[in-house]
Amino acid sequence: MQIYDVPPHDRGWSLVLHGGAGGRVEELTLDVRGSYTAGLTRAYQAGEDVLAAGGSALDAVCATVEQLEDDPLFNAGRGAALTAAGTAELDACVMTGDGHAGAVTACRYARNPVYAARKVMEDSPAVLLVAPSEQRLLDWELATVPPEYFLTPARQQQLRNVQSRQLEASRHGTVGAVALDARGRLAAATSTGGMVNQNEGRVGDTPIIGAGTYARDGVVAISCTGEGEAFIKGVVAYDIAARMRYLDQPLATAITATVEEELTAHGAMGGLVAVGADGTVTVAHNSAAMFSAYHDGTRLVTHA
Ligand code: ASP
């Protein structure tokens, strides 16, 4: 497992994002890697702008994820991984450290699924909504698009390659962000198209509170990526938070133990980003690589 643990610095807030875990980043050509770096940087800056202006952790993680959803390189929003039927079924989730949460699954019409998840949290009694209708999204005054908007030639080619077994289903691209704001509030957001070639109706860990996404003020905020079924069965994000709360484990210790026991021990691959209540930022993965961006106190660090 690789883990990067960055102690809090004096900006008074923290932000870290991921763009999915998967195979070796070295496999990317320089051109493509540059585009990923640009996308990660743009997304980090969107969240940073919110936090630097005194905005909330929730606004920051939504602004960051919105950028990544709009970027066709990442497996979320436009350019999401496609189901076996060639459709895009999008999952997204937000949670704030004060215990509020919202999620959508099999979302087909919201241009930015992260904002649909936020509406579920803020404007509905539900926590998880399946396949929100276009009318519901319009009632919430969210931007809607036809389902074809999400399909890109690159993803259609990837699906053909996976189905003809020329390519192993690569999992790079799910996106997520976690933040601590200047008022000490934590938030997490995650968004994905799921796994390439997944059955229609399959739901991964992303919209499941405690599996792929979790936040609790005073403890930690976490966003995960990887083989969703293992994250659900290991309740990975919550397991890390529980280790911190009940065993008093430091963030990096808790993450290392959970990744080892709930993922690696079961042959499952993935990673996560986390921010502790003190502003410590952690990036961890047992996959060969994971796209991420964070600030190390002097400069923005991107892994692409
Ligand atoms: N965790 C996502 C899922 O299982 C996929 C990913 O992170 O790439 O749906």
Cα 226 to ligand 1 centroid, rounded to whole Å: 5
Cα 275 to ligand 1 centroid, rounded to whole Å: 20
Mind listing the pLDDT tens digit for each residue in 59-108?
A: 999 999 999 999 999 999 999 999 999 999 999 999 999 999 999 999 99
**Cα 178 to chain center, whole Å?**
9
Instruction: Assign domain 2-295 one CATH number from 3.40.190.10, 3.30.420.40, 3.20.20.450, 3.60.20.30.
Output: 3.60.20.30
pLDDT grade for 247, boundaries at 50, 70 and 90: very high
Q: What's the whole-number mean pLDDT along residues 102-124?
A: 98
Q: What's the whole-number mean pLDDT along residues 130-153?
A: 98
Burial annotation 239-261 (CB, 10 A radius, 16+ → b, else e): bbbbbbeeeebebbebbbebbee
Considering the candidates 96, 105, 174, 225, report the single residue annotated as catalytic. 174
pLDDT grade for 30, boundaries at 50, 70 and 90: confident
Q: Are 230 and 266 in contact (CB under 8 A)?
A: yes
Residues above pLDDT 70, as percent of the chain: 96
Q: What's the whole-number mean pLDDT along residues 288-296?
A: 95
pLDDT grade for 257, boundaries at 50, 70 and 90: very high
Q: Which helix (H) or strand (E) holds 50?
A: helix 30-52
| Pocket-testing residue among 206, 236, 273, 285, ligand 1, by greatest number of atoms within 8 A of Cβ | 206
Q: pLDDT at position 104, please?
A: 98
Q: pLDDT at position 172, please?
A: 64
The closest of 289, 190, 205 to 239, measured between CA atoms, is 205
In 116-184, the DSSP E strands lie at 128-130, 175-180
Cα 234 to ligand 1 centroid, rounded to whole Å: 14
| CB of 89 shorter than 6 A to ligand 1 | no
Query: How many C-beta atoms lie closer than 10 Å to residue 223's C-beta?
Result: 33
The one-letter amino acid at 56: S
Average pLDDT, rounded, for the chain: 95
Whether 26 has a pLDDT exceeding 60, the answer reads no
For the chain, the maximum distance between any two Cα atoms, rounded to a whole number of angstroms, is: 52
Mind listing the pLDDT tens digit for each residue in 161-202?
A: 889 977 666 656 799 999 999 999 999 999 999 999 999 999
The closest of 222, 219, 221, 217 to 183, measured between CA atoms, is 217
The one-letter amino acid at 169: A
Q: pLDDT at position 166, please?
A: 72
**Phi/psi class of residue 233: alpha, beta or left (left: φ > 0; alpha: ψ in -120 to 50)?**
alpha
Q: Are 92 and 191 in contact (CB under 8 A)?
A: yes
Q: Are 127 and 209 in contact (CB under 8 A)?
A: yes
Residue nearest to atom 5 of ligand 1 (CA): 194
Long-range contacts of 60-64 (CB under 8 A, 24+ apart): 60/15, 60/177, 60/179, 60/181, 60/187, 61/15, 61/94, 61/177, 61/178, 61/179, 61/187, 61/188, 61/189, 62/94, 62/114, 62/115, 62/118, 62/189, 64/15, 64/17, 64/177, 64/179, 64/189
Query: How many C-beta atoms lie closer than 10 Å to residue 164's C-beta?
Result: 8
Q: What's the whole-number mean pLDDT along residues 299-303?
A: 96
Instruction: Tell me, yes or no, if 174 is annotated catalytic.
Output: yes
Whether 10 has a pLDDT exceeding 90, the answer reads no
Q: What residue segments make up the domains of the chain, in order of their start?
A: 2-295
pLDDT grade for 23, boundaries at 50, 70 and 90: confident
Q: What's the whole-number mean pLDDT along residues 218-231?
A: 97
Q: Are 274 and 176 in contact (CB under 8 A)?
A: no
